[in-house]
Structures are given as C-alpha cells and as structure tokens.
Amino acid sequence: MRYDFCTVGKLLIGIFLSTILSSTQALSQEDNSLHWNSLRSGEHFALLRHALAPGTGDPPGFKLDSCQTQRNLSLEGRKQAAKIGDLFREHGIDKARVFSSQWCRCLDTAQLLDLGPVESLPFLNSFYNNFEYRESQTQKLSDWLKAQTFDQPLVLVTHQVNITALTSVYPSSGELVIIHRTNHGEFEVVGTIQTK
C-alpha cells in the first residue's frame, strides 16, 4: 500500500500527540499520588472549593440560615462531592478533620464527603460580596491554621475567593489545593487535584 507524504505526516503527528497525551496523563496521576501522600504525611492540609453550584455569588435576599435563599449544589455537584469523598478513601484517607464555611453549598459538600463530623468556621465564609473582609478573614484563617496539629488529615471546605486570598490559586468547583505548613508557619502550595 502506498502513502503520500501528507498521509504519513498525519499518521506521525497522530502518534506523537497520542504519546504526549498518554505521558501527560501518567505524570498527572503521579503528581496526584504525591499530593495525596503529602496530605497523609502531616503538616499538610487541603483547601476544597465547594462542589458545583451553578451561578456566581449569591442571589438578592441571601440569608445565612436559609438554604432556599442561597446558591446551592446542583445534582451534579452533590454527586461530585460524594465522588471527592470516595477519592479520599481510595487514597487511604477514610477519616479527616473537616471544617466548612457556613454557606449551605459548602456544608453540603463537606457532609457529602463522609469523612467525619463537620464543624463550621465563620472565617471560611465567602467575602465575595463584602471584599472589605478579605484581609481580616484571611488573617484569622492563617492564625487558626498555624495553631493546628496535624494528627490526621485536615480538610477545609470554602469558596474560591477565600482560597485565592490565602494561596493565589484560582480553583475550579470541587478542586483540592494541597498546602504545606512550613516550620516557620508559612504556607506553600504543593499542588492541586482536579475532581471533575
């Protein structure tokens, strides 16, 4: 069978791209394993942006004690949250200290992880509509984290703005950001784990 240069070129490009994609996926899985190992090793914690909740911010009439007034997890978001909990268990973490924003989409995400009791922390609450609280809340979170012991994995379920303020990472819904607390009480991003 005869091939012209164009056909051979396309075949070679296809093989090359397939090899690159396979290598990238293998590296990604290897990185993820390192991130999960870090989370189990102490002096690390996970910031988790709540699972999928369509929209941005919160609707007018938002009330903290009324989920009906808030932007909530979609059915896909609820499935995503449960899947994230399964990912923890698949990587040897079946229990964790879990803390959450008081927003319903965060509390629901935290509970659906099924890693243990969930405790709410007000300084994990979103300041998307009150950006003047950014520095004070981030400082409270930082001070709290510096005082924690890491005798078991620590997971904080919060919002994009809170995670970005502490780490400069802009996570997608349901993305885990793995952080190392150094001996000097500083926070270093180890990496992120996509869960979609």
pTM: 0.84
Domains and CATH numbers, the chain: 38-193 (3.40.50.1240)
DSSP 170: -
140-160 per-position pLDDT tens digit: 999 999 999 999 999 999 999
Give the other-Cβ count within 10 Å of 91's Cβ.
17
Question: What amino acid occupies position 151?
Answer: D
Give yes or no for a contact between 60 and 194, defined as CB atoms under 8 angstroms apart.
Answer: no
What does the alpha-carbon distance between residue 59 and residue 127 come to, in Å, rounded to a whole number?
14
pLDDT in tens, 84-139: 999 999 999 999 999 999 999 999 999 999 999 999 999 999 999 899 999 999 99
